[in-house]
Structure 1
Amino acid sequence: MACEGAPEVRIGRKPVMNYVLAILTTLMEQGTNQVVVKARGRNINRAVDAVEIVRKRFAKNIEIKDIKIDSQEIEVQTPEGQTRTRRVSSIEICLEKAGESA
């Protein structure tokens, strides 16, 4: 990926504005030009929302440098005791300050 070694923001179940603040804090205060936003499963839409809010409302100089999507097969146990295979999608979005390549 284009953002090797960049700090990560992992998206979970908290409100989207918490992640917007985490992305902005990472980019502005940690002295880095890049950040990777990661999410899995149902949280992918929250990751996309957070990135778009950062880009359109707060920091217009932020660009999407790379997007990586993937899917993993996970073995899960059903309540009946059977093992089932599930696919879980994931996304990694690399953000970079415009004009400041690392």
Structure 2
Amino acid sequence: MSNLEVEEIIKICEALSNPTRFRIFLLLTKRMFCVNAITSFLNVSQPAVSQHLRILREAGLVRMEKRGYWVHYSANNERVNEFLKSFSKILKEDERDVPKRK
């Protein structure tokens, strides 16, 4: 897997910066859930959960799988691992690589 670009890292950080989205994401790291289950666990309205899931999907953090009538969501572990590796690499970069202020 290639390293994520800075813009992609920022998009992921923005997606996780909302407390409700972060809680949804943490729930999805445990196992798959449908929207109704997420609303029950977190006491958040269905439209709000759907909106948060859309943002998490756009950031690549969540996968969806249709199972009969229901759509189940889970964390995209590959994307999360790629994010963690790329973010760690950025933090470890030599400060000489950082552009000087003009």
- When normalised by structure 2's length, the TM-score is 0.37
Q: Higher strand fraction: Structure 1 or Structure 2?
A: 1
Q: Higher helix fraction: Structure 1 or Structure 2?
A: 2
- When normalised by structure 1's length, the TM-score is 0.37
